[in-house]
């Protein structure tokens, strides 16, 4: 139960993070301006509702897949770290998913930070490659975490 709750919480956080990063200018203006709490709350909820109209069906499906895989990886990672394990590919897959999620204009600010904002125009699938690569890395990471979670190191005392 704790594992599922952690995975669900991280998945939801990942979706919210993607929505809010894509709209950071609007959010900054709303929170730095002289607006009521009700207005700010309504704006945040409207941004979440607008997710289905702002993204194509393919982008929305990949966002959900990547968020679920990020949640599962995070829950497995927390479980493994609590047992004294290490970290694998999860962070790279999640970062690629953030870059490739949504439309081109949503990913461009993050690519601009990396100095690659114009490069997405040359990709044949307009950024879908990032989402596919991200989902693949997260699946590999989850598989490795799952496989290694069953192994136990037994140290015999003399």
pLDDT tier at 9, thresholds 50, 70, 90: very high
In whole angstroms, give the CA distance from residue 30 to residue 51. Answer: 19
Q: Give the angle 69-72-76 at the CA atoms, nearest 5°.
A: 135
Residue 64 in any domain: the answer is yes
Give the pLDDT confidence of 115-143 residue by residue, as tens digits.
665 666 676 776 777 778 878 888 888 88
End-to-end CA distance of the chain: 38
Residue 155 in any domain: the answer is no
Domain count, the chain: 1
- pTM of the predicted model as reported, rounded to 2 decimal places: 0.70
| Across 80-90, average pLDDT | 60
Residue 156 in any domain: the answer is no
Residue 84 in any domain: the answer is yes
Full residue range of the structural domain in which residue 86 is found: 2-149
Alpha helices in 83-101 (DSSP H): 90-100
Residue 158 in any domain: the answer is no
């Amino acid at each position: 139960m704790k594992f599922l709750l952690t995975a669900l919480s991280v998945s939801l956080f990942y979706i919210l993070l993607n929505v809010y990063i894509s709209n950071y200018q609007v959010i900054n203006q709303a929170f730095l301006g002289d607006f009521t709490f009700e207005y700010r709350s309504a704006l945040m909820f409207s941004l979440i509702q607008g997710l289905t109209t702002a993204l194509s069906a393919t982008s929305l499906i990949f966002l959900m897949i990547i968020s679920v895989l990020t949640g599962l990886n995070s829950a497995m990672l927390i479980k493994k770290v609590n047992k004294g394990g290490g970290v694998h590919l999860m962070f790279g897959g999640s970062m690629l998913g953030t870059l490739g999620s949504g439309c081109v204009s949503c990913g461009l600010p993050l690519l601009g930070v990396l100095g690659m904002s114009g490069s997405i125009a040359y990709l044949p699938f307009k950024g879908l490659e990032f989402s596919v690569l991200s989902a693949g890395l997260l699946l590999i990471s989850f598989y490795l975490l799952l496989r290694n979670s069953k192994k136990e190191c037994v140290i015999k005392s003399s």
